[in-house]
Amino acid sequence: MNIISEKIMSIGVVPVIKLNNPERDAVNLAKALCDGGVPVAEVTFRAAGADKAIKLMRENVPEMLVGAGTVLTTEQVDKAIEAGAQFIVTPGLDEEIVKYCRSKDIIIYAGCTTPTDYHTAYRLGLEVLKFFPAEQSGGLAKIKAMSAPFPMFKVMPTGGISLKNLGEYLSCPVIAACGGSYMVTADLIDNQKWDEITELCKKSVEIAKEARNNG
């Protein structure tokens, strides 16, 4: 497994971030995440200026591992790479984007929730898959069931993850890490509640450690 995936696994949680005001919030948010022991972020292209946010985080908080999420086109891959993104996340499995990321030598976590997705991911040589939307697609029960014919994959579920079910997910050895937005909600970011974000990250790290130790 590559170094980036190993680092993400060691953290256990990946905040999925939509920034409406990157100039104001990107650096402060990155610092709040790091203060909480979660030096990683998936900045989604669902908001304009995602590439700007990635660039600000990478330049001002170098200890952060920053990736681009909700990537739908190769043009967005180029924007993310130019901004300094260290990994790409797609909501679905797009063979063209996977192959393009390979040609650009950047890690991609593609969204996979069906046996067909998994089989295609296997053929493409992927190791870690995004499972989205996790809860709505069958949750941990389905992830475990899918791991029987496809034991070679680690999975990063995203969608419906919270402090309440984080430990349950992370106690499963198939899970690499969990993506979530509960610690970076619009309310928390838009109202600049950096201390609350830090505390939610600290709680997440505690849950992750306990789950991994008992899993």
pTM of the model: 0.97
- Closest among 170, 200, 213 to 37, alpha carbons compared: 200
User: Which tokens sit at 21?
Assistant: 């005001």
How does 24-57 read in b/e, with b if 16+ C-beta sit within 10 Å?
ebbbebbbbbbbbbbbbbbbbbeeebbbbbbbbb
Per-residue pLDDT at 214: 84
- Cβ neighbours of residue 19 closer than 8 Å, sequence gap 6 or more: 25, 26, 29, 43, 47, 49, 50, 53, 189
Give residue 124's domain range.
3-209
77 in a domain, yes or no?
yes
Given the residues 42, 55, 135, 154, the one annotated as active site: 42
Given the residues 18, 55, 79, 130, the one annotated as active site: 130
pLDDT per residue rounded down to tens, the chain (215 residues)? 899 999 999 999 999 999 999 999 999 999 999 999 999 999 999 999 999 999 999 999 999 999 999 999 999 999 999 999 999 999 999 999 999 999 999 999 999 999 999 999 999 999 999 999 999 999 999 999 999 999 999 999 999 999 999 999 999 999 999 999 999 999 999 999 999 999 999 999 999 999 999 86
Indicate left, alpha or beta for 56 from its phi (over 0: left) and psi (-120 to 50: alpha).
Answer: alpha
Q: Number of helices (H) and strands (E), helices first, in the chain? A: 10, 8
Q: Where residue 49 sits, what CATH number does that domain have? A: 3.20.20.70
115 in a domain, yes or no?
yes
Question: In angstroms, rounded to a whole number, what is the distance separating the alpha carbons of residues 175 and 159?
Answer: 14
Answer yes or no: 164 catalytic.
no
196 in a domain, yes or no?
yes
51 in a domain, yes or no?
yes
Question: In angstroms, rounded to a whole number, what is the distance separating the alpha carbons of residues 57 and 66?
Answer: 7
Which stretches of 20-124 are DSSP H helices?
A: 22-35, 50-60, 74-83, 95-103, 115-124
The answer to whether 109 and 130 are in contact (CB under 8 A) is: yes
Question: In angstroms, rounded to a whole number, what is the distance separating the alpha carbons of residues 126 and 101?
Answer: 12
Secondary structure letter of residue 162 according to DSSP: -
18 in a domain, yes or no?
yes
> Does residue 119 sit in helix, strand or coil?
helix
Number of domains forming the structure of the chain: 1
12 in a domain, yes or no?
yes
Answer yes or no: 42 catalytic.
yes
215 in a domain, yes or no?
no
Question: In angstroms, rounded to a whole number, what is the distance separating the alpha carbons of residues 148 and 164?
Answer: 26
Per-residue pLDDT at 215: 67
214 in a domain, yes or no?
no
